[in-house]
Amino acid sequence: MKKLFFMAVIAIFSSSGLLAQKIDFYTPGIVRVTRDNGEDASKNVSLVVTATPENVAVVKKSEDGKTVYTTDQLTVTVENGKVSFADSKGNLLMTEGEYAFTPRHTGPDRNSYKVKQTFSVEPDEAIYGIGMLQNGKLNQRGEQRRMEQANTEDYAHFYQSVKGYGVYWDNYSPTFISVPENGMAGELVLESEVGDIIDYYFIYGGDADGVIAGMRHLSGKVPMAPLWTYGFHQSRERYATQSELLEVVDKYRDLKIPYDGIVQDWEYWGSPFLWNAMEFLAEGFPEPQKMIDHVHDQNAHISVSVWQSFGIGTKPYRELARKGHLLDFETFPPSGLPGWPPRDDYPSGSRVYDAYSAEARDIYWKNLSRLHRMGVDCWWMDSTDPDFYNENDRDLDVPTALGSLRSVRNAYPLMTVEGVYNHQRDVDSTKRAFIFTRSYFAGQQRTGANTWSGDVASSWDAMRKQIPVCLNFTLTANPNVHSDISGFLAHDYNTNGWASAKDNPQFRELYVRWMQLGAFMTMMRSHGTGAPREIYLYGKKGEPVYDALVDAVKLRYRFLPYIYSHAWQVSKNDDSFMRALFMDFKNDKKTWDINDEFMFGRNLLVCPIGRALFTPEEIDRSGKFAEVDWNAAKTYDVYLPEGIRWYDFWTGELFDGGQTIAADAPISRCPLYVKEGSILPLGPDVQYANENKYDNIDIVVYPGKDASFLLYEDEGDNYNYEKGKYSTIPLKWNDKAKRLTIGKRSGSFDGMPLSRKFNVKIVGDDKVREIRYNGNQISVK
């Protein structure tokens, strides 16, 4: 027996000759396994993995034709060329199955292989992650598909098991995945279209949070997003003029509807020949700087859509073409003339840029920096899949700076998003780079980008699917995710003429429920086409639908101290915002496949209303809008996980876990529960996130168990928090003593309130205690 710090290299024979298999311990719980078929595996420089192997203490033992490597977390056994993994107690986690190298004989990748590896899955072993799949499933058992990035579905080449391990498959080509049906033992298959080697990482974390932490250790931590990005964002497809956009900006302030962001969608650049010029060239935007300044004067922020393709009349197209950095396949827009269907006799000539080239990324940023210098606050990076118009095998054969497009296809979102993030960080430390984008890949969490689920339909079915979409996305170690509130495509609700969807009670109910769901996503953004989405078009104060929409937005702002404090836990301690129930209640097996509820942070159980309660779910195409009693009482079944009691957030009523209840579900709110033993910091009513210094916060204690919460604050923007300029205040509740302790504040930052007021409320006690706090510990009984 030998204790050593090492990388194991094992030579075994395959059908095609000598095959080298290597095992690298990156940490005691993370193992890299590679196999090559005569290639040099060390040449495989990862686009995703940024970590290097640590000096891991490993005990090696060889006997009876097998070699066993043991750390304090894992036992890795190699026998007959196959690798198996067990935890420190000897519980088998996963065993490799068959692998294969299939030579490619044609095209630019003819000297490479199709590479395949299989992994064991037990009969009742739940599998999560994979990516952003519009299949409505949380547990991905039975899933079979070709993974290639697209508008509404993206893939991370990563999955994790309810047994507490994950696998990251480090290959960027389109990859086939097959997961055995639930209840059947079998092999999970991963087969990539192009690869020189088989290369994967086994991550043992003990639970989902540990697996996520391991993946972030490998591929990058999550930076803090600005405070304002957690506010409400209003968008539509699209504001055709700057006066349209500014009308919304001003009207929201006049009506006192809180918001922080206004979003300008595409075509502010003018004709399709000027596609993505990264300049305001359309006639409706004669004074773009004045427009941006006015948004800022209203204490709001502006996000602008940018694409990865360029029209032939643009400056970036000409420079990229001259350098050979445009990819030769048809993309959006296909036609240079407005309208649909496109005119094939007037092709647009638009081309996607080669984001795999460092020089091309430099050119992209050089052109984008024009908007950055104008003060644009956020980049809406659309079509980061990127869009194909008529994808075929020839398109995937086009060359890029890193080989054929096929060989690196699925990493495109990472490359283009990271290019913008890194460039902005290099030149601007005054405000945090913030991006929301349509596509992603493993490792993209290190840019802080927030991925939305693409152009999904405005339907109850689509809304229901967004919950498992976001949860599985989160389980690939990417915490920042959201959807277009109300769904993008509202055309089907226009049963009474163009844009009549906004007057259609069926669409109004859907919009309200999606808004209530969106209040607990990591970005709350209303957007779509077929009908405008501005809240004031859906009634007026005192009317149920309007009030419900506004109340959902106000609730979001009420939770900002909770959300921003949790953002610190995500960044510092690898936590997640939207949490599948099994992450916190794994012992309750019912939670393993609940796809319509989630935890938001560690304390809130969110139970969105996923079906119509007031109107027919099926769209009524008669064009006649029926009268609806929006004040009618409704209920909705929700499941409360076992092992803990739950408080109704709205009423304070206490329920035992482990049961399904008929929750009150008026149009004004969705069911929301707080687990006993929680502390919620809740902020005052504000019109925008940075309106005050949050020196008057409510602290609400939900008794029944001891509780703690770390209140985090910083300047709200810039990167000074990375230099230690932030503060934390620990809050602790001793349930037996019925005592709340507000601990000594640690740290400081510019503009920090030195004294403040906390309004302490214990649920079940009507008394509110006002506490003056100056940074020193204080206890309240």
Which three-class secondary structure string do you get for 262-303?
Answer: EEECCCCCCCHHHCCCCCCCCCCCCCHHHHHHHHHHCCCEEE
Q: pLDDT grade, residue 45 (50/70/90)?
A: confident
What is the tens place of the pLDDT at every residue in 99-147?
999 999 999 999 999 999 999 999 999 999 999 999 999 999 999 999 9
Instruction: Kindly state whether residue 187 falls inside one of the protein's structural domains.
Output: yes
Instruction: Kindly state whether residue 655 falls inside one of the protein's structural domains.
Output: no
What is the tens place of the pLDDT at every residue in 636-669?
999 999 999 999 999 999 999 999 999 999 999 9
* Distance, CA of 398 to CA of 417 (rounded, Å): 21
Q: Reduce the DSSP state of residue 534 to 3 states and report it.
A: coil
Q: What is the mean pLDDT of residues 571-588?
A: 98
| 32 in Cβ contact with 24 (< 8 Å) | yes
| 296 in Cβ contact with 351 (< 8 Å) | no
Same structural domain, 105 and 186: yes
Tell me what pLDDT residue 527 has: 98
What is the tens place of the pLDDT at every residue in 426-475?
999 999 999 999 999 999 999 999 999 999 999 999 999 999 999 999 99
Same structural domain, 17 and 74: yes
| 582 in Cβ contact with 208 (< 8 Å) | yes
Tell me what pLDDT residue 6 has: 47
Same structural domain, 177 and 280: no
* Distance, CA of 353 to CA of 321 (rounded, Å): 9
Closest CA to 688 of 559, 561, 567, 557: 557
Q: Can you read off the two tokens belonging to residue 684? A: 């005052």
9 pLDDT higher than 70: no
Range of the domain at 361: 266-433
Same structural domain, 17 and 145: yes
Q: pLDDT grade, residue 8 (50/70/90)?
A: low
Closest CA to 366 of 435, 318, 299: 318
Q: Reduce the DSSP state of residue 167 to 3 states and report it.
A: strand
With a CB cutoff of 8 Å and minimum separation 6, the contacts of 90 are: 75
With a CB cutoff of 8 Å and minimum separation 6, the contacts of 8 are: 22, 23, 24, 60, 67, 69, 78
731: buried, middle or exposed (CB in 10 Å: 19+, 13-18, 0-12)? buried
Q: pLDDT grade, residue 91 (50/70/90)?
A: very high
Same structural domain, 274 and 371: yes
Number of folded domains that form the chain: 3
DSSP 437-471: ES---TTGGGGT-EEE--S-BSSHHHHHHHHHHHH
Alpha-carbon dihedral sign for residues 650, 653, 658, 662 = negative
Instruction: Kindly state whether residue 203 falls inside one of the protein's structural domains.
Output: yes
Q: What is the mean pLDDT of residues 86-110?
A: 96
40 pLDDT higher than 90: no
Tell me what pLDDT residue 37 has: 86
626: buried, middle or exposed (CB in 10 Å: 19+, 13-18, 0-12)? exposed
For 684, half-sphere exposure in the C-beta direction (CA atoms, 13 angstrom radius) is: 13
Phi then psi dihedrals of residue 116, to 5 deg: -135, 140
Q: pLDDT grade, residue 7 (50/70/90)?
A: low
Instruction: Kindly state whether residue 512 falls inside one of the protein's structural domains.
Output: no
Tell me what pLDDT residue 3 has: 45
Q: Reduce the DSSP state of residue 716 to 3 states and report it.
A: coil
* Distance, CA of 159 to CA of 509 (rounded, Å): 35
* Distance, CA of 489 to CA of 469 (rounded, Å): 18
Q: What is the mean pLDDT of residues 321-338?
A: 95
Same structural domain, 300 and 384: yes
14 pLDDT higher than 70: no
* Distance, CA of 761 to CA of 578 (rounded, Å): 26
Same structural domain, 148 and 16: yes
CATH code for position 766:
2.60.40.1180
Residue found under tokens 């509110």:
768
Q: What is the pTM of this model?
A: 0.97
Strand order in the sheet with 232-234: 481-482, 450-452, 435-437, 378-381, 301-306, 261-264, 232-234, 524-526
| 715 in Cβ contact with 753 (< 8 Å) | no
Same structural domain, 81 and 157: yes
Domain-terminating residue out of 393, 412, 433 = 433
**764: region left, alpha or beta (phi > 0 left; psi from -120 to 50 alpha):** left
Domain-terminating residue out of 162, 191, 219 = 219
DSSP 179-194: -PPTTS-EEEEEEEEE
Domain-terminating residue out of 219, 254, 286 = 219
What is the tens place of the pLDDT at every residue in 356-380?
999 999 999 999 999 999 999 999 9
What is the tens place of the pLDDT at every residue in 137-180?
999 999 999 999 999 999 999 999 999 999 999 999 999 999 99
* Distance, CA of 449 to CA of 32 (rounded, Å): 27
* Distance, CA of 550 to CA of 101 (rounded, Å): 57
Same structural domain, 275 and 171: no
Cβ neighbours around 346 below 10 Å, total: 13
CATH code for position 106:
2.60.40.1760
* Distance, CA of 716 to CA of 447 (rounded, Å): 17
* Distance, CA of 532 to CA of 551 (rounded, Å): 19
* Distance, CA of 473 to CA of 610 (rounded, Å): 20
Tell me what pLDDT residue 714 has: 98
Q: Can you read off the two tokens belonging to residue 549? A: 């929409």
Instruction: Kindly state whether residue 53 falls inside one of the protein's structural domains.
Output: yes
Residue 655 to residues 33, 588, 624, 661, 662, Cα–Cα distance (Å): 48, 16, 42, 9, 12
Q: pLDDT grade, residue 11 (50/70/90)?
A: very low
Q: Amino acid identity, residue 211?
A: V
* Distance, CA of 268 to CA of 658 (rounded, Å): 53
Tell me what pLDDT residue 169 has: 98
CATH code for position 417:
3.20.20.80
Alpha-carbon dihedral sign for residues 282, 287, 291, 292 = positive
Instruction: Kindly state whether residue 603 falls inside one of the protein's structural domains.
Output: no
Tell me what pLDDT residue 580 has: 98
Tell me what pLDDT residue 41 has: 66
The C-alpha R_g of the chain, in whole angstroms, comes to 27
Same structural domain, 174 and 302: no
Instruction: Kindly state whether residue 712 falls inside one of the protein's structural domains.
Output: yes
Same structural domain, 293 and 398: yes
| 260 in Cβ contact with 296 (< 8 Å) | no
Q: Calculate what percentage of the chain has a pLDDT beyond 90.
A: 94
13 pLDDT higher than 50: no
Q: What is the mean pLDDT of residues 238-247?
A: 98
Q: pLDDT grade, residue 398 (50/70/90)?
A: very high
Q: What is the mean pLDDT of residues 192-204?
A: 97
| 145 in Cβ contact with 155 (< 8 Å) | no
Same structural domain, 170 and 297: no
- Averaged pLDDT of the chain: 96
Q: pLDDT grade, residue 338 (50/70/90)?
A: confident
| 772 in Cβ contact with 755 (< 8 Å) | yes
Instruction: Rounding to the nearest 10 degrees, give the CA dihedral for residues 510, 513, 515, 519.
Output: -160
Tell me what pLDDT residue 432 has: 98
Q: Amino acid identity, residue 236?
A: R
Q: Say what angle helices 544-558 and 505-518 make with each other, to 10 degrees.
A: 10
For residue 513, how far is the Cα from the chain centroid? Answer: 20
Instruction: Kindly state whether residue 717 falls inside one of the protein's structural domains.
Output: yes
* Distance, CA of 171 to CA of 156 (rounded, Å): 10
For the chain, the farthest-separated pair of C-alpha atoms sits apart, in whole angstroms, at 81
83 pLDDT higher than 90: yes
